[in-house]
Amino acid sequence: MISPLIDEILRAATANGVSDVILRSGQPAVFRIGGVLTVVESDLPGEQDLAALWEACGSEGGELDRDASLTTDEGVRFRVNLLRHLGAKGAVLRRIQNQIPEMETLSLPCEILREWAGRPSGIVIVCGPTGSGKSTTLAALLEWVNATMARHIVTIEDPVEYLFTDKMSFFTQREVGIDTPSFAEGLRRSLRQNPDIIFLGEIRDAPSAITAIQAAETGHLVFATVHAAGCADVVARLELLFPPEERESVRKTLAAQLHGVLCQRLLPAVSGSRALLAEYFSNEASSRRLIVEGRMNELHDFISRGDPRSVRSFADSLLQLVRDGTVAEAVALENADNPQEFARSLRGISSSMQATRR
């Protein structure tokens, strides 16, 4: 059971739409609201408060850090990372929404995601930095599958975030550390559980990467997340998990099984909320060849210049957000991969808008 002070902090977080809570022994709690950090004016959580939180999350106290989940008495769920800060206990909690959002409400490329999800086998990767909404995107996509297709969906997560209710599909949700010892082992065992779709919470190492690719080869549709800065970086990140002598083989297999990659970031929006910035490509003949040959710079160029019906770069998405008035020009410049080139594109937008007013 968590302490009254931690309970009070989490209640306030829930009431104020907080996405993340940072707790450190003897220091004020910190909330992240709309991407902005705010110090909370309350009593300081102490070592006993943090120890009770650790115990409520299943820790025996001896770990240096631990991933876990927590459900409050009000039924609010948090993903928790227990950590030590200067020798004292701490924690970072991320609010998990109970309601799985519809894809349309997330400004996702819904048509292409549905196309990928309708394939009988292969692999789909969603990437981006921590906190960019990868799990939410895949939960929304799986919920669409749940509403439209009869599938057995096995998830391997650390921890389980969204809880699914069976509709047309049937879910087996497994949490690392509770239901299975690791991502790689959970993935291997899932192949014996008659799945149609496997959702792998994160590809962290070579065993999970190769098993995910092999699962796709053997007739399963695999959804997975990877921490990567862009779509072209995903292939490089995956092949670096393997020794040099195995990388060419990995690229060939991945190129054959990959349906597409979606990479996303969250930016401060004019409205005060956050806006989704998305880059994606559907893997076709030209991109397959680039992946097989390890020509990642050319893959990046392909994404920048590809057919907009199946490919979209961060730069194009960022320009669209500015055109729509969703993101301010200053914010867009701060987040552009090539600020100078993006500034020229922005001047083009401004000129066309002025011409329209005349």
Q: Is residue 92 part of a domain?
A: yes
Does 129 lie in the same domain as 87? no
Does 60 lie in the same domain as 162? no
- Ramachandran angles phi, psi of 283, nearest 5°: -75, 115
Does 165 lie in the same domain as 81? no
pTM of the model: 0.85
Reading the block at residue 17, the tokens are 């739409």
Which domain-ending residue is among 96, 120, 135?
96
At residue 355 the predicted structure's pLDDT band, cuts being 50, 70 and 90, is very low
The pLDDT of residue 349 is: 56
How do strand 258-268 and strand 274-282 relate by DSSP bridges?
antiparallel
Q: Is residue 352 part of a domain?
A: no
The pLDDT of residue 131 is: 83
Does 76 lie in the same domain as 149? no
Does 134 lie in the same domain as 70? no
Give the range of the structural domain holding residue 195, as residue numbers without chain letter. 103-335
Which domain-ending residue is among 41, 62, 96?
96
Which domain-ending residue is among 96, 127, 143?
96
The pLDDT of residue 357 is: 44
Q: Give me the mean pLDDT over the 196-216 stretch.
A: 92
The pLDDT of residue 22 is: 97
Reading the block at residue 89, the tokens are 């206990």
Does 233 lie in the same domain as 323? yes
The pLDDT mean for the chain works out to 91
Higher pLDDT, 61 or 135: 135
Is residue 90 classed as helix, strand or coil in its secondary structure? strand
Higher pLDDT, 132 or 159: 132
Does 88 lie in the same domain as 169? no
Say whether pLDDT at 18 is over 70.
yes
CATH of the domain at 257: 3.40.50.300
Does 250 lie in the same domain as 125? yes
Say whether pLDDT at 303 is over 80.
yes
CA distances from 60 to 53, 136, 161, 276 (A): 11, 30, 22, 38
The pLDDT of residue 198 is: 96
Q: Which residues, 6 or more positions from 317, have their beta carbon under 8 angstroms from its beta carbon?
A: 277, 278, 279
Q: Give me the mean pLDDT over the 270-295 stretch.
A: 94
Cα–Cα distance for residue pair 314/299, rounded to 1 Å: 14
Does 129 lie in the same domain as 90? no
Q: Give me the mean pLDDT over the 134-163 stretch.
A: 94
Say whether pLDDT at 199 is over 50.
yes
The pLDDT of residue 159 is: 81
Buried b (16+ CB within 10 A) or exposed e, 235-271: bebbbebbeeeebeebbebbbbbbbbbbbbbbbbbee
